[in-house]
A = this chain, B = another copy of it.
């Protein structure tokens, strides 16, 4: 057991910093720092720059197009990206669909879909939740009925992040209703440009909007886009949920926001400084838990129920950080000029520059403990899988 910061890691960190410095536009960086809304172009242009460098899919095996990084390098890249206020990628392709394709896809499917993910030419979303299937995901009802070489898909997906930006959707559908609810679920890759696919944004009370409703009406999806066996989709779904939960637990994002908080804090309220420190210590703990449980593992090690722990603590700390940032604004937490968060608004801000988005982000981040399996569901998973309760 030892900390092992090699010269190679140091050099790599410099390389990442230089890359971001050279390639990340200043206006995008400013938006991320101030919490303004990003456009699809802001995000996708940056993803393409990362792809060009060959760094889009750090968790993939080198043979599949991954960069062949050590665990430390993967962590360094993520940390530096956050600290430099780079946009987070749309994660569904590189972090979710890719690994599932690598594990369960046919050679044809891999050949068809992996290149687009690696190049960021294709943006993905994930069709999981439905109006009546939230925590109880396996009760999903979206139907896919076989018709020759196609499935005819009908149903509604909800809370679909980035569906309005996406080219393809990784969807769980029901191909059989006769048995146990987990059986009879299949995975389909659905081209979002097919006839019958409708995307409707769902406004959040935070007035930020990347949730969508996706409606499938008689959408004809080729059978060749089914991953793994018919009725075995739950296996893929569980595999993917593990990958989704692991993420980076938001360590870099929180560190960047806490750095900003420390800048803002004038020390006039010692209790506020103490709470920043308290959150900093908790984040340090999360960082080491992440290093211990994820980063120190090899790329193909399975992440177990520890992922649930990181999801719980990660989202709790993220929410604490967002709350501190809002509280730091004092009365300037009140003004909310929706247009001020969008591109092209150039009136002088009301209050400090970070105040414009702080409250909306606080509100919005309440989603973090709900989505990707609510924190209550994560605790159920640990109770069962780790503690045997």
Residues in chain A within 8 A of chain B (CB atoms): 270-271, 274
A129, chain B: closest CB distance, angstroms: 25
Chain B residues whose C-beta falls within 8 Å of the C-beta of A271 in the assembled complex: 270-271, 274
Instruction: Give the nearest-CB partner of A275 in chain B.
Output: B271
Complex alpha-carbon distance, A206 and B344, angstroms:
66
Instruction: Give the nearest-CB partner of A270 in chain B.
Output: B270
Complex alpha-carbon distance, A270 and B270, angstroms:
8
Complex alpha-carbon distance, A274 and B272, angstroms:
12
**For the complex of A and B, 4 pairs with smallest distance between CB atoms:** A270-B270, A271-B274, A271-B271, A270-B271
- Count of this chain's copies in the oligomeric assembly: 2
Per DSSP, chain A at the interface is helix
Complex alpha-carbon distance, A303 and B274, angstroms:
42
Complex alpha-carbon distance, A274 and B269, angstroms:
12
Chain B residues whose C-beta falls within 8 Å of the C-beta of A270 in the assembled complex: 270-271
Chain B residues whose C-beta falls within 8 Å of the C-beta of A274 in the assembled complex: 271
A274, chain B: closest CB distance, angstroms: 6
Complex alpha-carbon distance, A306 and B271, angstroms:
34
A269, chain B: closest CB distance, angstroms: 10
Complex alpha-carbon distance, A274 and B278, angstroms:
15
A267, chain B: closest CB distance, angstroms: 12
A272, chain B: closest CB distance, angstroms: 11
Complex alpha-carbon distance, A271 and B270, angstroms:
8
A182, chain B: closest CB distance, angstroms: 28
A279, chain B: closest CB distance, angstroms: 15
A44, chain B: closest CB distance, angstroms: 46
Complex alpha-carbon distance, A334 and B223, angstroms:
71
Complex alpha-carbon distance, A270 and B269, angstroms:
10
A383, chain B: closest CB distance, angstroms: 16
Complex alpha-carbon distance, A140 and B270, angstroms:
53
Write 4 A-B pairs (CB below 8 A) sorted by A numbering.
Answer: A270-B270, A270-B271, A271-B271, A271-B274
Complex alpha-carbon distance, A318 and B270, angstroms:
27
Complex alpha-carbon distance, A271 and B277, angstroms:
13
Complex alpha-carbon distance, A270 and B271, angstroms:
8
Complex alpha-carbon distance, A30 and B70, angstroms:
66
Complex alpha-carbon distance, A270 and B273, angstroms:
12
Instruction: Give the nearest-CB partner of A274 in chain B.
Output: B271
Complex alpha-carbon distance, A271 and B271, angstroms:
7
Complex alpha-carbon distance, A190 and B4, angstroms:
71
Complex alpha-carbon distance, A344 and B60, angstroms:
74
Complex alpha-carbon distance, A5 and B12, angstroms:
74
Complex alpha-carbon distance, A271 and B276, angstroms:
13
Complex alpha-carbon distance, A274 and B270, angstroms:
10
Complex alpha-carbon distance, A274 and B274, angstroms:
12
Complex alpha-carbon distance, A35 and B166, angstroms:
67
